[in-house]
């Protein structure tokens, strides 16, 4: 091929009359390719004397074809138009006689001989003709790949990038909307609900008549919900009715239950903010609550009157009833905290003890005594009991026999609230010293501290703290509720609406319910 091209070049050169060879030097930065102009000689009107003047930028002329410079500042290369045109016609005719493979081979050879100016010219001449006769998807990578490979590529994208893929064309929209892609995203720990019950309920609400979950819509709701948590965007409802400070709150799907220092327990309609019923049974302040059950709600309450009461509450649209089923006596001072799982209740008291109860028969199964001051908070699972006290310590007990395994000391004030998760090997505690501390459950090592100086923490006593798989929610005397990333300790948002210190709170994936010294109960709704 190179030999044939060389012969053609020689033939063309032999028939070409080169006269007045001079280079015209151009200093304009726009002259990236040869400028071709027609001019007429003043000495003759003959068509043969019409010339084509080709001016080359000297820096773009390769050394192989460069004509030696004369004594003048530039030289002009002039071709006889008639001779050049005839040869050009012959070349075009010869090119048209070639098959596609030969044409492509010739073009490759010509392209290899091009310099910068020719490349610039080619880019201008061919820009509008790229893929002129190609199929519409000739440059679409996903159209050329098997479905499985395209699917795998899209499965590696983050949610934002995957959503943007749907804007490219119909094929990309079809592939990026595949339910399996969005199902995998929805099942990732980052986007899953902390409550398995709420997770399942949401999936069921987006299941169509054919029984197929609409995974893209499921993920969109989860993405928006998480975004609202991260930015603190929520709607707030206020429940008024208590005449003194609210000391404890719990809620279920339809109702909010709050305990007050005046000894009453109120049940509220979550949707209307109306009070449904008031429970009177404790003779002094109600300090702690637990709620479970669906149709018939079981309520367990602890009080300054040293007792624990188990209530049964039934509510429907036309009537409601409540009854105290059981009273547990054994503590000799205020029952400050309790937690319930199945029929087991663990309570902490100002008498410095932790007790384990059977709610079926009301018997105390064991008493844990090792704290030297009031027990203010307690949590448990079937392996461990963890308690915090006014003696500034956190104690880890073995559940089966009540043996104290480890004592954690780092707070400079009473430990007022705590949370622990065995799977995450984590204890989170709040204190009168305004700090939140993170501990390793297995070693007892304090791994992180949140204070108001370095981490934008609370500027008051931390009264309440709850957590789940990815966030910690705390309330304090500075009238604020703060949400933290449980892994990094970074503050995600701060919620302000109470007019006095926040004493208690409870939350799930959609809601926070809080109580305050100001006597109000507030519902913070993060649903969009």
Q: What is the pLDDT of residues 363-401, one digit of tens each?
A: 999 999 999 999 999 999 999 999 999 999 999 999 999
Confidence at residue 137, expressed as pLDDT on a 0 to 100 scale = 64
- Is 94 part of any domain? no
Q: Is 525's pLDDT higher than 70?
A: yes
| Residue ending a domain, choose from 232, 260, 290 | 232
Q: At 32, is the pLDDT very low, low, confident or very high (cuts 50, 70, 90)?
A: very low
Q: What is the pLDDT of residues 465-519, one digit of tens each?
A: 999 999 999 999 999 999 999 999 999 999 999 999 999 999 999 999 999 999 9
| CATH code where residue 267 lies | 2.40.10
Q: At 81, is the pLDDT very low, low, confident or very high (cuts 50, 70, 90)?
A: low
Confidence at residue 466, expressed as pLDDT on a 0 to 100 scale = 96
Same domain assignment for residues 183 and 327: no
List alpha helices for 254-330, DSSP H.
none
Report the pLDDT averaged over residues 24-53. Answer: 37
The overall average pLDDT reported for the chain is 84
| CA 216 vs CA 25, 45, 67, 206: distances in Å | 64, 77, 68, 10
- Is 14 part of any domain? no
Confidence at residue 144, expressed as pLDDT on a 0 to 100 scale = 83
Q: What is the pLDDT of residues 436-445, one digit of tens each?
A: 999 999 999 9
Confidence at residue 74, expressed as pLDDT on a 0 to 100 scale = 42
Q: Is 206's pLDDT higher than 80?
A: yes
Report the pLDDT averaged over residues 157-163. Answer: 95
Q: Name 430's bridge partners.
A: 417, 436
- Is 26 part of any domain? no
Q: Do residues 491 and 456 lie in contact, with contact meaning Cβ atoms separated by under 8 Å?
A: yes
Q: Do residues 258 and 242 lie in contact, with contact meaning Cβ atoms separated by under 8 Å?
A: yes
Same domain assignment for residues 228 and 252: no
Q: Is 73's pLDDT higher than 70?
A: no
Instruction: Give Rg (Cα) of the chain.
Output: 41
Confidence at residue 45, expressed as pLDDT on a 0 to 100 scale = 38
- Is 185 part of any domain? yes
Count Cβ atoms below 10 Å from residue 294 Cβ, excluding itself.
8
Q: What is the pLDDT of residues 336-363, one digit of tens each?
A: 999 999 999 999 999 999 999 999 999 9
Confidence at residue 113, expressed as pLDDT on a 0 to 100 scale = 87
| 73 sits in which H/E element | none
Confidence at residue 479, expressed as pLDDT on a 0 to 100 scale = 96
Confidence at residue 366, expressed as pLDDT on a 0 to 100 scale = 95
The number of distinct structural domains making up the chain is 3
- Is 22 part of any domain? no
Gap between the Cα atoms of 365 and 397, Å rounded? 15
Q: Is 42's pLDDT higher than 60?
A: no
Contacts of 188 (CB under 8 A, 6+ apart): none
Contacts of 379 (CB under 8 A, 6+ apart): 339, 385, 386, 387, 418, 419, 420
- Is 397 part of any domain? yes
| CATH code where residue 425 lies | 2.130.10.10
Helix (H, G, I), strand (E, B) or coil at 289: strand
Same domain assignment for residues 455 and 328: no
* Domain region containing 482: 370-527
Same domain assignment for residues 379 and 517: yes
Same domain assignment for residues 381 and 454: yes
Q: What is the pLDDT of residues 312-321, one digit of tens each?
A: 998 877 778 8
| Residue ending a domain, choose from 334, 354, 382 | 334
- Is 505 part of any domain? yes
The DSSP line for 326-346 is EEEE--SS-EEEEEEETTEEE
Q: Is 72's pLDDT higher than 80?
A: no
Gap between the Cα atoms of 74 and 56, Å rounded? 10
| Among candidate residues 432, 420, 339, the one with its CA nearest the CA of residue 384 | 420
Out of 62-66, 115-119, 218-222, pick the least confident.
62-66
Same domain assignment for residues 485 and 380: yes
Same domain assignment for residues 161 and 249: no
Same domain assignment for residues 384 and 484: yes
30: buried, middle or exposed (CB in 10 Å: 19+, 13-18, 0-12)?
Answer: exposed
Residues in the chain: 528
Report the pLDDT averaged over residues 246-256. Answer: 93
**φ and ψ of 435, to 5 deg:** -100, 150
Give the distance, in angstroms, between the CA of residue 336 and the centroid of all CA atoms in the same chain.
38
Same domain assignment for residues 374 and 520: yes
| CA 340 vs CA 187, 461, 469: distances in Å | 29, 26, 20
Confidence at residue 131, expressed as pLDDT on a 0 to 100 scale = 65
- Is 139 part of any domain? no
Q: What is the pLDDT of residues 226-249, one digit of tens each?
A: 999 999 999 999 999 999 999 999
| Residue ending a domain, choose from 334, 353, 379 | 334
> What tokens appear for 295 in the block?
């149709």
Q: At 80, is the pLDDT very low, low, confident or very high (cuts 50, 70, 90)?
A: low
Q: At 283, is the pLDDT very low, low, confident or very high (cuts 50, 70, 90)?
A: very high
Gap between the Cα atoms of 286 and 301, Å rounded? 7
Gap between the Cα atoms of 518 and 502, Å rounded? 8
Same domain assignment for residues 327 and 391: no
Q: Are strands 353-358 and 364-369 parallel, antiparallel or unpaired?
A: antiparallel
Buried residues in 159-188 as b, exposed as e (16+ CB within 10 A): beebbebeeeeeebeebbebeebbeebbee
Out of 130-139, 186-195, 285-294, pick the least confident.
130-139
Q: Is 29's pLDDT higher than 90?
A: no
Confidence at residue 85, expressed as pLDDT on a 0 to 100 scale = 83
Q: What is the pLDDT of residues 116-142, one digit of tens each?
A: 888 888 888 877 776 677 666 667 888
Same domain assignment for residues 378 and 260: no
Same domain assignment for residues 453 and 498: yes
């Amino acid at each position: 091929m190179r030999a044939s091209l060389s012969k053609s070049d020689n033939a063309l050169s032999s028939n070409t009359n080169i006269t007045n060879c001079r280079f015209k030097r151009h200093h304009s930065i726009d002259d990236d390719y040869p400028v071709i102009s027609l001019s007429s000689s003043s000495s003759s009107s003959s068509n043969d004397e019409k010339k084509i003047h080709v001016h080359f930028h000297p820096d773009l002329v390769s050394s192989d074809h460069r004509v030696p410079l004369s004594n003048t500042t530039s030289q002009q290369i002039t071709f006889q138009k008639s001779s050049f045109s005839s040869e050009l016609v012959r070349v075009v005719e010869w090119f048209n006689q070639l098959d596609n493979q030969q044409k492509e081979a010739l073009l490759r050879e010509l392209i290899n001989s091009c310099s910068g100016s020719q490349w610039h010219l080619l880019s201008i001449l061919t820009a509008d003709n790229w893929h002129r006769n190609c199929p519409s998807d000739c440059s679409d990578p996903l159209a050329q790949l098997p479905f499985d490979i395209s699917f795998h590529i899209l499965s590696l994208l983050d949610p934002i990038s995957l959503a943007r893929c749907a804007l490219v064309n119909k094929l990309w929209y079809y592939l990026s909307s595949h339910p399996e892609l969005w199902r995998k995203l929805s099942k990732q720990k980052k986007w899953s609900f902390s409550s398995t019950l709420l997770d399942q309920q949401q999936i069921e609400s987006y299941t169509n008549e054919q029984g197929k979950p609409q995974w893209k819509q499921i993920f969109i709701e989860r993405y928006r919900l998480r975004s609202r948590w991260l930015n603190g965007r929520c709607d707030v409802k206020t429940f008024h009715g208590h005449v003194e400070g609210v000391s404890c709150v719990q809620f279920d799907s339809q109702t909010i239950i709050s305990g007050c220092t005046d000894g009453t327990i109120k049940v509220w309609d979550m949707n209307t903010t109306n009070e449904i019923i008031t429970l009177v049974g404790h003779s002094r302040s109600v300090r702690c609550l637990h709620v479970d059950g669906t149709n018939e709600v079981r309520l367990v309450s602890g009080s300054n009157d040293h007792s624990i009461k188990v209530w049964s509450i039934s509510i429907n649209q036309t009537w409601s009833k409540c009854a105290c089923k059981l009273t547990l006596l054994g503590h000799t001072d205020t029952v400050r905290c309790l937690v319930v799982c199945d029929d087991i209740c663990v309570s902490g008291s100002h008498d410095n003890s932790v007790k384990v109860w059977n709610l079926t028969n009301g018997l105390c199964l064991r008493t844990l005594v090792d704290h030297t001051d009031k027990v203010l908070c307690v949590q448990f699972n079937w392996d461990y009991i963890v308690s915090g006290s006014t003696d500034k310590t956190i104690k880890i007990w073995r559940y089966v026999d009540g043996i104290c395994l480890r004592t954690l000391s780092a707070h400079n004030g009473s430990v007022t609230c705590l949370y622990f998760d065995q799977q995450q090997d984590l204890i989170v505690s709040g204190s009168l010293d305004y700090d939140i501390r993170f501990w390793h459950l297995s070693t007892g090592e304090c791994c992180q501290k949140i204070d108001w100086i370095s981490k934008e923490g609370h500027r008051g006593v931390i009264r309440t703290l709850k957590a789940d798989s990815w966030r910690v929610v705390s309330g304090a005397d500075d009238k604020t509720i703060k949400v933290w990333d449980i892994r990094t300790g970074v503050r995600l948002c701060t919620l302000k609406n109470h007019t006095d210190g926040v004493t208690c709170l409870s939350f799930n994936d959609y809601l926070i319910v809080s109580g305050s010294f100001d006597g109000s109960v507030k519902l913070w709704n993060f649903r969009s």
